[in-house]
Amino acid sequence: MKGSKEEIKAIDLRSDYKVNPIGIHNVAPRLSWRMTAYGKNRKQSAYQIQVFKKESDIKEVLVWDSEKVYSGESVNIPYKGKQLASRERVYWKVRIWDEKENVSEWSEEAFFEAGLLNKTDWEAEWICAPEKAAAVYFRKVCNIEKQPKSGRLYISGLGYYEAYLNGKKCGEDVLTPNRTHYTERVFYHTYDITTAVVHGENVFGVELGNGWYNQKDKINEKKLWYGYPKLLFQIEIEYADGDKDVFISDENTKWHESPRIYNNIYFGEIYDARKESIGWREKDFEDLDWKFAGKAEKPGGELTKQKAPSDQKICELFPKKISEVTPGMYVVDFGQNMTGWVKMRVSGKEGDKVQLRFGEELWPDGKINYYSTGSGWKQQKDIYILSGKKEEYYEPAFTWHGFRYVEVQGYPGIPKREDFVAVHIRAGVERSGKFICSNALINQIQKASLWSMESGLHGGIPLDSPHRERQGYGGDALITAKAMMYSYDMHEFYSDWMDDFIDAQDKTTGFLPHTVPCQDGGGGPAWGSALIIITWLMYRYYGDTKSAEGYFDNMIHWMQFLQTGMEKGIVEGEGTDKDCLGEWSTPGEILIPPRFVNTFFYAYNAKLMTELAEVLGRSADAEYFQNQYNETVLSFRNEFYDSKNGRYSIGAQGTEAFANKLGAIRERELCEVKQYLEKHITKECEGNLDTGIFGTPLLFETLVEFGLGEVAYHMITSVTYPSYGYMITNGATTLWEYWEKEYGFYQCPANHNQPMFGSISSFFYEKLAGIKPLKPAYKKIEIKPAMIGDLRFVSSSVKTPYGEVCIDWERNEDEILVSVVIPPNTEAVLLIPGQERKEIGSGNYQFRYVACEK
C-alpha cells in the first residue's frame, strides 16, 4: 500500500498532550495520535501500540505491546505497561488499520521520560541568600571529568528563576515556575541540557526573584506572602560508560546580590546597572567576593511536575508614536493593549535614572491615566539606573505589566522609536483555532477578545485582569473557557488550575473559594462551579475523562456544600452566607436576583455531573444528580416563571436565556417567551445588551436557537452603548470590565483589559462558523453555520485532538458556497440553513446551494 492514495499513517504522537515530554510524573500517561489519509470516509478500525526501551543504539527491549485493538479511538489511550521508574525513558510507536483492514507502516518513534518521582531522588537542598536581597545571583562550578552523554537539570526557584549553563539560558520560559498555593504544591522543571554541558569546567548560574512567593507590597484580596526566595536544583550528568555525576544546590553554592534591587509582580523593577557582575554566569569569572548560600526551609508543598506551559515571549511590538507631553516627559504608544514588558536601549551618564510607567489609557492632555489599571496610588513602573557605558540595554525579568502606553521620564536625550520594544508575554499555549469573516467590526471584536484572553494567561492561572487584582476568579474563567478552547490548546493549563481548586477546597465543608490559588475575593456559587464546568469542558473538547475521575468526589462535596444554602429548592447563598454575587458587570445596576443565578448554576452543575457520572460508570451518582437536576429545575420554574407576562424573574438581563440553557422552558410556553424576549431587546433595550458576564453568552446562544439570529447579529454589530462595538469605536484594542467606558455602575475604576466578555469568541466559532463537538474530542462534529445579518463569508478552523476541522462559507443573492475539511477518523453532520441534513465522513468537500429567501 506504500505510496498509494489509500496510504494511512499515525502522526503527531503525544503523551499526556505533549510531544516527547520529559520529567513527567504520571507513570501511566495517555497516548494520542492523529491520522493522515487520502480521500473521503477514512477511519481507523484498529491500532497497535508498542513501547520499548533502548539499551543501546541497536538493542531494543519491548516493554508493552497492546497487540491489535479493534477501536477507532486515537485520543487518550492509557499506557498499560510497567510503571516508569524515576528518570526512565521509554519510546513508543503505533500502527493503525483503516476501514478496509489495510495496515499502515509503524509511525515515527516518540518517547516520554519520567522525572524525579520519589522524595529520595532529590539529593539537593533548598538554599537561600542568608542576607536579604531583592534578587540574587547563585553560581556553581561543575567539573565534568569525562565526555558527557546526556544531562538533565531539575530545578525549582521560588518565586521566579532564570537558569543558565555556560552563559546559555535553560529553556525559553520566563516568569517561571507557575504559581501555586505553595504550602500544597511546588512546581519544578526538567531541562535537557545535553547540548549545553561540556567536558571540563561548566558554570551553572541562577538569578532568583520574588515572584508570587515573596509578594507583600500589595494586599489584594488577602495578603499574598509565603516566605523569602529559595532555590533547589539538581544537575545529573550521564557518561557513555554508564557512570553519573550529580551537582546539587547546597551550602557550597555561592551567591551575590543582583542589580535588580527591587522586583515586584505588581509594581515592577528597579535595576541598578552600576551593580552588574559582568560575566557572572560564564567561565573565568572571579567570584572570590561572593558568599556561600545558606540552608532554607522547605516551602511545604509537594514537589511535582508543572503540566501547564510557563509564560513565554510571544511576539514583539514596536512603537506607533512617541509624544513629548511635557518637557522631558514622553509617552510611547504601542498601539495595542497587552501584557509583558518593554526592552529599552539607552546611553547616558553613570547614575542617570530612567523611569518607565505603564498604563492603558490617556488623559486628554496626553498623559497616562493610571486609574484604569487600578493603580492610582502606586503605578506599574520600571526604573533603570545607568552604568555610564556607551550603549546600554535593559529588559525586566521578574515582573510584567498591562499596558498600551509607556511614560518615559529621565531619558538622556530625545528617545527614538527604535529605542523601545514591547514584548508580549503570556502562557505558552499553542494557538489551535482561527476565525475571520466579512464584517470588519466582528473581526475587531474577535481580535480584542483574543488579546484580552491572552493577557489573562499568566503563571498557569486564568486571571481576571493583568494589572489590578491578577487573581484566578472562577466566574470570570469558566465563562471564557469554551472560547479559550476554540482558539488555544488549553488542556494542560486548565488541568493544573483545576488542581489548585482541589488544593483550596475546604476539606470539612466542601466550599470552593472564588479565587485560586489565592483563596479570597468576591463571588458566589458560580465562581466555585468552575471546577465542574471546566472539567466537563475538558471532557467534551479534549476527551479527558481522567480529570473528571480524579475530581469527581470533590465535585460531589461542592454540590453538598451548595445544598446547605438551599431553601425549598432555591440556592439562597453559600451556606449560611446569603450576601454573595450572582451576576456581574451588567450595564447599570445588577437587577437579576443572586438567588436566580445561584440556582441556575446548581441545576446546571447537576446536569453536567449526571453526564460525567454516566461516562465514569457511576450509575448511582448519575441517578442522584439527574434527580437533583429535575427537582431544581422544577423549583426554578415554580419560583421564577411569570406565566402572566411570559418571562422569567425580572424579564431582563438575560433571565430567559438562563432558563433556556437549563431546559426550564416548556414547549407550550416557548412562543410566548420568544415574543417577550424579542420585544424586550428591540424595544426596551433598543437593540443593545443589558446582560452581565454570565447572561451575555447565554443570550446570544439562545437568540440563535430561538430563530432570532438577526436580533443577535444586530446586537453584536451595534456601536452604541452598551455593546461590544461601543468599546471598539471608543478605541478599545482589548475588552473592558464594564460596558461603560469610564466607570461602571459601582464607580470603580474601569479596567480596560478584562477577559470575561471574551466569551463572545465562542459564539463566532460555534454559531457563525458552526463548529461544535457532538462527541468528545470532536470524534463527531457538527457544522451548522448561522448565516445571519450582512455576513458574506466566514472562514474558520479548529485543530482538534483528531485533526483540523475547517469551514469556509460564502454567499451572495443567488448561491451559497460551502467548503469543509473533516479530519480522518471523524465524521460530521452538515446543517446548512434551508438545506437538507447531510451525514459526511472525513475528507475535503465543496457544496453549492441555491440561496433561499430570508
Give the CATH number for residue 42.
Answer: 2.60.40.10
**In the predicted model, what is the mean pLDDT of the chain?**
95
Give yes or no: residues 327 and 388 share one domain. yes
Which tens digits make up the pLDDT trace of 725-759?
A: 999 999 999 999 999 987 655 555 678 999 999 99
**Together in a domain, 267 and 339:** no
For residue 851, what pLDDT band results from cuts at 50, 70 and 90?
Answer: confident
Q: Show which of 402, 427, 452 is a domain's final residue.
A: 427
What CATH code is carried by the domain that includes residue 175? 2.60.120.260
The per-residue pLDDT for range 531-565, each reduced to its tens digit, is: 999 999 999 999 999 999 999 999 999 999 999 99
pLDDT at 4: 55
Considering the domain architecture, whether residues 689 and 623 belong to the same structural domain is answered as yes
**Overall number of domains in the chain:** 5
Specify the pLDDT at position 218. 80
pLDDT digits (tens, 9 = 90+) for 768-818: 999 999 999 999 999 999 999 999 999 999 999 999 999 999 999 999 999
Any domain includes 295: yes
pLDDT at 133: 92
Residue 356 lies in a domain: yes
Is 540 a domain residue?
yes
The pLDDT score that the predictor gives to residue 722 is: 97
Q: Average pLDDT of 116-141?
A: 97
Cα-based angle 85, 86, 89 (whole degrees, multiple of 5): 75
Say whether both 485 and 344 belong to one domain: no
Asked if residue 482 and residue 445 are part of one domain, the reply reads: yes
Q: What is the pLDDT of residue 746?
A: 52
Which is higher by pLDDT, 76 or 575? 76
Residue 1 lies in a domain: no
Are 828 and 817 a contacting pair, CB within 8 Å? no
In the prediction, which pLDDT does 743 show?
64
Are residue 332 and residue 214 in the same domain, yes or no? no
Q: What is the mean pLDDT of residues 301-327?
A: 98
Average pLDDT value for residue range 69-86? 97
Please give the angle made by the CA atoms of 310, 312 and 313, to the nearest 5 degrees. Answer: 170
Are residue 211 and residue 228 in the same domain, yes or no? yes
Does the pLDDT value for residue 284 go beyond 70?
yes
> Can you give the pLDDT at residue 645?
87
Same domain, 210 and 108: no
Same domain? For 734 and 793 the reply is no
Nearest to 656 by CA among 639, 635, 670: 670
On whether the pTM is more than 0.85, the answer is yes
Residue 286 lies in a domain: yes
Residues 698 and 576 in one domain: yes
Residue 470 included in any domain: yes
Q: Is residue 807 part of a domain?
A: yes
829/730 same-domain check: no
Q: Which of 392, 427, 462 is where one domain is finished?
A: 427
Query: In terms of residue numbers, what domain contains 629?
Result: 433-769
Contact 268, 457 (CB under 8 A): no
Contacts 24+ apart (CB under 8 A), 629-635: 629/603, 631/569, 632/569, 632/599, 632/602, 632/603, 632/606, 633/603, 633/662, 633/663, 633/664, 634/569, 635/568, 635/569, 635/570, 635/599
pLDDT tens digits for range 470-529: 999 999 999 999 999 999 999 999 999 999 999 999 999 999 999 999 877 889 999 999
CA-to-CA distance for 223 and 529, rounded, in angstroms? 24
Instruction: Give the pLDDT score at 539.
Output: 99
Quote the pLDDT of residue 35. 97
Q: What's the CATH code of the domain at 557?
A: 1.50.10.10
- pLDDT of 5 reads 57
Average pLDDT in the 338-359 region? 98
For residue 627, name the pLDDT band (cuts at 50, 70, 90): very high
- Tens-place pLDDT, residues 188-211: 999 999 999 999 999 999 999 999
Q: Is the confidence at residue 220, as pLDDT, over 80?
A: no
Lowest mean per-residue pLDDT among 50-59, 111-120, 194-203: 50-59
At residue 217, the 3 state secondary structure works out as: strand
385 forms beta bridges with 272, 353
CA distances from 233 to 121, 198, 451 (A): 12, 19, 35
Measure the N-to-C terminal CA separation of the chain; round to a whole number of Å: 50
The letter for the amino acid at 444 is Q
What does the alpha-carbon distance between residue 595 and residue 571 come to, in Å, rounded to a whole number? 6
Residues 166 and 202 occupy one common structural domain: yes
DSSP codes joined into one string, 374-436: T-SSS--EEEEE----SSEEE--SS--EEEEEEEEES-SS---GGGEEEEEEEE-PPB-EEEE
Domain end marker among 719, 736, 769: 769
